[in-house]
Amino acid sequence: MTDKYCVIGNPIAHSKSPEIHPVYAAQTGQDLVYERCLAPLDGFEATVHRLVEEGYRGANVTLPFKIEAARVCTRLEERARAAGAVNTLVFAHGEIVGDNTDGPGLVADITRNAGVAIKGKRVLLLGAGGAARGALLPLIGQGPREIVIANRTVATAEALARDFSRHGVPIKASGFAQIDGSFDIIINATSSSIAGDLPPVAPTVFGPGALALDMMYGNQATVFMDFASRHGATVRDGLGMLVEQAAEAFAIWRGVRPETGDVMKKMRP
């Protein structure tokens, strides 16, 4: 019998996930369908329970439901607990299990697709919201020399730094204007690119040979990517992160991790 999966969001028509998972299924010989599911803004929990009743095996979760998804789960994996947000649901044995594959997707895109090691590097994380929180534990797991979290509200960055300081990597908080020195890897985890805005950072944050990655993606380079490129950085958008986090979710559901190269070529010739 064909297993059913979907991505839940509002809006949802723009989601590229239904273009990704069928390729993974064909590649790995898995029998499944993957659909878009539009949930009412006040009806996420009811939507999840309906999917369980209809026999779905799991779902991805996108904006604006990732934090609410954590509350719906009967059990959270460590990555989801650390992130305080869920983007992958597993429906099995009467449980709703939540995981977060965004951070692993980001790390895989940096290390595998961009070929940049995180170990021993100085990392600047712009923003202190859910996207930044989801990225921190996988980034820490790579052994960077230091992570600096910069945010408009410094107290929010400080709270995030405290939450993750026990994992053994030096983590500092800063306002945008007070960022000290240059970095090897700069990650824009703010939502500024949606509005075509630029995080107010100085060009000096881009060290020699720096990699600058914007978690947002689109048909054109973001303002942040243009800014970073003009100041000597190699730039990436969030498409690779999307493809890699989808592969991680697929592996959770199906027990096999697909190759991502074919999807990257399909989505960005």
pLDDT digits (tens, 9 = 90+) for 166-178: 888 999 999 999 9
Q: Give one DSSP letter per residue of the chain, joined into a string.
A: --EEEEEEESS-TT--HHHHHHHHHHHHT--EEEEEEEPPTT-HHHHHHHHHHTT--EEEE-TT-HHHHHHH-SEE-HHHHHHT--SEEEEETTEEEEE--HHHHHHHIIIIIS----TT-EEEEE--SHHHHHHHHHHHHT--SEEEEE-SSHHHHHHHHHHHGGGSS-EEEE-GGG--S-EEEEEE-SSGGGGT------GGGEEEEEEEEES---SS--HHHHHHHHTT-EEE-SHHHHHHHHHHHHHHHHS-PPPSHHHHHHH--
Q: Which residues are annotated as a binding site for shikimate?
A: 15-17, 62, 87, 102, 217, 245
* pLDDT above 90 for 217: no
Let me know whether 116 and 215 are in one domain.
Answer: yes
Let me know whether 214 and 111 are in one domain.
Answer: yes
Query: What would the pLDDT profile of 116-147 be if each residue is shown by its tens digit?
Result: 999 999 999 999 988 898 899 999 999 999 99
* Known catalytic residue at 4: no
Let me know whether 127 and 229 are in one domain.
Answer: yes
Q: Are residues 60 and 17 in contact, defined by beta-carbon separation less than 8 angstroms?
A: yes
Q: What is residue 40's predicted lDDT score, i.e. its pLDDT?
A: 97
Let me know whether 255 and 233 are in one domain.
Answer: no
Q: Which one of 66, 119, 172, 265 is the catalytic residue?
A: 66
Place of tokens 């107010």: 200
Let me know whether 118 and 218 are in one domain.
Answer: yes
Binned at pLDDT 50, 70 and 90, residue 262 comes out as: confident
Let me know whether 197 and 146 are in one domain.
Answer: yes
Let me know whether 76 and 107 are in one domain.
Answer: no
Residue 16 sits in a domain whose CATH number is 3.40.50.10860
Q: Which residues are annotated as a binding site?
A: 15-17, 62, 78, 87, 102, 127-131, 215, 217, 238, 245
Let me know whether 121 and 142 are in one domain.
Answer: yes
Q: Are residues 185 and 123 in contact, defined by beta-carbon separation less than 8 angstroms?
A: yes
* pLDDT above 80 for 195: no
* pLDDT above 70 for 99: yes
Let me know whether 107 and 175 are in one domain.
Answer: yes
Q: What is residue 218's predicted lDDT score, i.e. its pLDDT?
A: 83
Residue 186 sits in a domain whose CATH number is 3.40.50.720
Let me know whether 136 and 192 are in one domain.
Answer: yes
Let me know whether 199 and 140 are in one domain.
Answer: yes
Boundaries of domain holding 61: 3-100+241-267
Let me know whether 46 and 127 are in one domain.
Answer: no
Number of domains in the chain: 2
Q: Taking residues 185-200, report their average pLDDT.
A: 88
Instruction: Tell me the average pLDDT of the chain.
Output: 95
